[in-house]
Structure 1
């Protein structure tokens, strides 16, 4: 059992004087429907091979099933889903899954291992964003048909093309949308010009999940209805309605009136205000994603480790940002490996120390500091972090201008390695595995511009440490758990002594406010918050 500090979900308890009654009268929504308010700005596709981000994961997980699922309360534990059981061969190069025989798609067609194999092969053939993780395991469009195959209707076999940790592969199957099984025949019936049904699946669903897509009007409304033939117990809700809402004040008002049951993406002041209402409860889910400050080590100034140490270790007010800017958004975390894993280490002793920073800058030939820019997405909490950083950099003699922009503008500059400082958010996938975060944040096997390893944020920052890379690679291939843990700890200790170009500040919290009548809602760290067991207790 993981320590409480790692549990991904925590419900904020309200003061005792509030929970005795329901408080002011409100208009409850129908008992058999769930009304959700959230931003759908980043919900661009429902195709499991193409969709990215938490918005898509939150919705698509209700239309599709995966071979395995990760326990929301303990993300190191996997449990059966479409696969009743699975085995890992000696040496870890073959994964064999025995599938359930009683699963049908929404179309009524039986789900078989052939559909599961084709779904994964399709991800690689389309070669869109979600193919990246599978390519990192050695799978390609060319080898997919032989490496991922159905031996019979109920048996799926995956032969790993290159040595890797099979546990990481299993976790990817359990957490990534790319692991969802789609109805091959329905999808191919809508194929256009060899797109393997991608255009159609962008706005439709062909899965075996507890809900079926009813209607989707992008950036307006999405509705889903209870599936007629779900293989588990039928969903307890008849219908779910998701409304596109971006204004925190509007979400707050509608929750208070009883016009919404669940809402996310609100500002911290609005969440605090709603937490005082007796009919509402606040829940926080820890994500693997980290808020960070990054510098461009390809820039001559930040190529000097003394400058990186001054900026990233001594001119960030870690405690102040965590306590003043990030409540309901994130919790203090200064290492790339999140807490609660066997390889996790205590927080390092980094602290705001302008005197030490000025001394390092003087040693680097910058006694008068320098001028620089901070790129930041123009929304909370990023702007709050950037404003704090601007002030603390000034105490070290660094004069920083803030350049707010869209996600494409900010992260585009990072992908092109044309920035100086960035306040961002990123990190590993949903896998509760040290490699997931280290690979995403600091691993960089080829630092050449021509390598274009833009999925690696280590590459984006222009920082590469061969010894750090070696430790990460060796740990991944070490099957002995104790030896693997020791290597991942060495990698983190290496980061303590050698300053990389990216510095985590906090682990992301995804905060939702729910009506107390909503029961069975368990936010999932991967974003796959399945609603099949959610129901509402009537107070009328």
Structure 2
């Protein structure tokens, strides 16, 4: 079963806000809550207890992308609500290489890092190489990259081991930004084949950023807060706020109280019942959206663990026995969608139409 719930504020939508001014159960919230407390500082309340690093090449948790998409840019990006059509970011164009074995990226002119250093093709290559050779969590998603190559000062090739159409979408993820090579190397960074042993930049990158994004990371205190300040060199124009503070508030009731009092501008972890109590409050703005977040129930197919579940018919019976609408309405307050599979509605290959066509529905007769 798959059910996708509406979410509060996607990581990409947050980045846009900052810069502009088995069985799966997708969970999130029906609406996002805004309470304007300051014209110069944005304060976000969210549970960031999962954050263990802010080094883009090492992180694999749920909340760090919020910070990373504010501080860094990727070669390509996606707009909120459109997770299929890629948009240009630090690359203005991307085309197949002449041998059809990879992609050639055209690097945007005139972009500076927050440090003031110019962003170059060398930074692009070095940043991807660092992810590859560190061999940490994000590297698994680009393991099909054979090598990168600088063609000239404007073009970088990403050559693949095998055909891999999703690679462009993968490179839009916050684990693959372009870093300021000169700055990161000054703090122990390494993009060579020996990076796994040589790179020492993570400690510095946990408390600082080296990107071209709208904001610059200046402090992270685990289970307390993350602080970012405006990047005056931001290539898209003046960011909306001078400062962004991401406050760790692990309890949803505490977030509810904080947004009511105006202590925070955005709340992330409220449940539908809590959001309902905020409707009609003049100082708050609620906006509905669909998230890509979901949880799932996995069933083993390995007979050594469970002989019954190893049978396809047994797993199908479970799929037909589940009360999907009951879960959606009782546990998620109706704030959910139902994808057909483990891909949430909105990404390539998963629409509400396909969910209706091929998704499971409760059918107790078929489950017997």
Corresponding residue for residue 294 of structure 1: 298
Corresponding residue for residue 161 of structure 2: 161
Unpaired runs of at least 5, structure 1 = 15-25, 360-540
Residues in 2 aligned to 1:104 and 1:129: alpha-carbon distance in whole angstroms: 28
Q: Residue 45 of structure 1 contacts residue 203 of structure 1 at CA under 8 Å; is this kept in 2? A: no
Unpaired runs of at least 5, structure 2 = 14-28, 190-196
SS at match of 2:82: coil
> Could you report, residue by residue, the CA deviation over 1:390-422 in whole angstroms, capped at 9, with x for unpaired residues?
xxxxxxxxxxxxxxxxxxxxxxxxxxxxxxxxx
Deviation at 1:125, TM superposition (A): 0.6
Deviation at 1:186, TM superposition (A): 1.3
Deviation at 1:158, TM superposition (A): 1.2
User: Do the aligned partners of residues 92 and 76 (structure 1) sit closer, same or farther apart at CA in structure 2, a change above 3 Å counting?
Assistant: farther
User: Do the aligned partners of residues 227 and 129 (structure 1) sit closer, same or farther apart at CA in structure 2, a change above 3 Å counting?
Assistant: same
In the alignment, is residue 325 of structure 1 matched against residue 331 of structure 2?
Answer: yes
Match of 2:286 among 274, 282, 286: 282
Deviation at 1:54, TM superposition (A): 3.2
Corresponding residue for residue 177 of structure 1: 174
Q: Residue 221 of structure 1 contacts residue 243 of structure 1 at CA under 8 Å; is this kept in 2? A: yes
Match of 1:116 among 100, 119, 124: 124
Residues in 2 aligned to 1:225 and 1:254: alpha-carbon distance in whole angstroms: 22
Deviation at 1:118, TM superposition (A): 0.6
Residues in 1 aligned to 2:217 and 2:334: alpha-carbon distance in whole angstroms: 31
Deviation at 1:261, TM superposition (A): 0.8
SS at match of 1:179: coil
User: Do the aligned partners of residues 204 and 163 (structure 1) sit closer, same or farther apart at CA in structure 2, a change above 3 Å counting?
Assistant: same
Residues in 2 aligned to 1:263 and 1:41: alpha-carbon distance in whole angstroms: 15
Residues in 2 aligned to 1:341 and 1:204: alpha-carbon distance in whole angstroms: 32
In the alignment, is residue 201 of structure 1 matched against residue 201 of structure 2?
Answer: no
In the alignment, is residue 74 of structure 1 matched against residue 71 of structure 2?
Answer: no
Q: When the two structures are superposed, what TM-score results if normalisation uses the length of structure 2?
A: 0.81
SS at match of 1:62: helix
Residues in 1 aligned to 2:254 and 2:53: alpha-carbon distance in whole angstroms: 25
SS at match of 1:336: coil
Corresponding residue for residue 148 of structure 1: 148
Q: When the two structures are superposed, what TM-score results if normalisation uses the length of structure 1?
A: 0.56
- More contact order relative to length (CA 8 Å, sep ≥ 6): 2
User: Do the aligned partners of residues 75 and 334 (structure 1) sit closer, same or farther apart at CA in structure 2, a change above 3 Å counting?
Assistant: closer
Deviation at 1:217, TM superposition (A): 1.0
Q: Residue 34 of structure 1 contacts residue 261 of structure 1 at CA under 8 Å; is this kept in 2? A: yes
Match of 1:238 among 217, 221, 242: 242
Residues in 2 aligned to 1:68 and 1:13: alpha-carbon distance in whole angstroms: 26
Q: Residue 256 of structure 2 contacts residue 274 of structure 2 at CA under 8 Å; is this kept in 1? A: yes
Q: Residue 273 of structure 2 contacts residue 333 of structure 2 at CA under 8 Å; is this kept in 1? A: no
Corresponding residue for residue 96 of structure 1: 104
User: Do the aligned partners of residues 92 and 339 (structure 1) sit closer, same or farther apart at CA in structure 2, a change above 3 Å counting?
Assistant: farther
Residues in 2 aligned to 1:59 and 1:102: alpha-carbon distance in whole angstroms: 24
SS at match of 1:159: strand
Residues in 2 aligned to 1:40 and 1:245: alpha-carbon distance in whole angstroms: 8
Deviation at 1:258, TM superposition (A): 1.4
Deviation at 1:351, TM superposition (A): 3.5
User: Do the aligned partners of residues 33 and 93 (structure 1) sit closer, same or farther apart at CA in structure 2, a change above 3 Å counting?
Assistant: same
User: Do the aligned partners of residues 319 and 90 (structure 1) sit closer, same or farther apart at CA in structure 2, a change above 3 Å counting?
Assistant: farther
SS at match of 2:206: helix
CA RMSD between the two structures: 2.9
Residues in 2 aligned to 1:231 and 1:350: alpha-carbon distance in whole angstroms: 47
In the alignment, is residue 261 of structure 1 matched against residue 260 of structure 2?
Answer: no
Corresponding residue for residue 46 of structure 1: 54
Residues in 2 aligned to 1:201 and 1:349: alpha-carbon distance in whole angstroms: 43
Taking the TM superposition and a 5 Å limit, the aligned residue runs for 1:517-532 are: none
In the alignment, is residue 191 of structure 1 matched against residue 188 of structure 2?
Answer: yes
> Could you report, residue by residue, the CA deviation over 1:461-503 in whole angstroms, capped at 9, with x for unpaired residues?
xxxxxxxxxxxxxxxxxxxxxxxxxxxxxxxxxxxxxxxxxxx
SS at match of 2:329: helix
> Could you report, residue by residue, the CA deviation over 1:313-364 in whole angstroms, capped at 9, with x for unpaired residues?
22x111111111123763222423444567442424634344543x3xxxxx
Match of 2:92 among 66, 80, 84: 84
User: Do the aligned partners of residues 158 and 267 (structure 1) sit closer, same or farther apart at CA in structure 2, a change above 3 Å counting?
Assistant: same
Match of 2:39 among 12, 24, 31: 31
> Could you report, residue by residue, the CA deviation over 1:74-116 in whole angstroms, capped at 9, with x for unpaired residues?
2222221111222224674231111122111122111101101
SS at match of 1:76: strand
Q: Residue 251 of structure 1 contacts residue 266 of structure 1 at CA under 8 Å; is this kept in 2? A: yes
Aligned residues: 330
Corresponding residue for residue 350 of structure 1: 360
User: Do the aligned partners of residues 304 and 73 (structure 1) sit closer, same or farther apart at CA in structure 2, a change above 3 Å counting?
Assistant: closer
Residues in 2 aligned to 1:149 and 1:90: alpha-carbon distance in whole angstroms: 13
Residues in 1 aligned to 2:238 and 2:324: alpha-carbon distance in whole angstroms: 46
Residues in 1 aligned to 2:343 and 2:46: alpha-carbon distance in whole angstroms: 29
SS at match of 2:71: coil
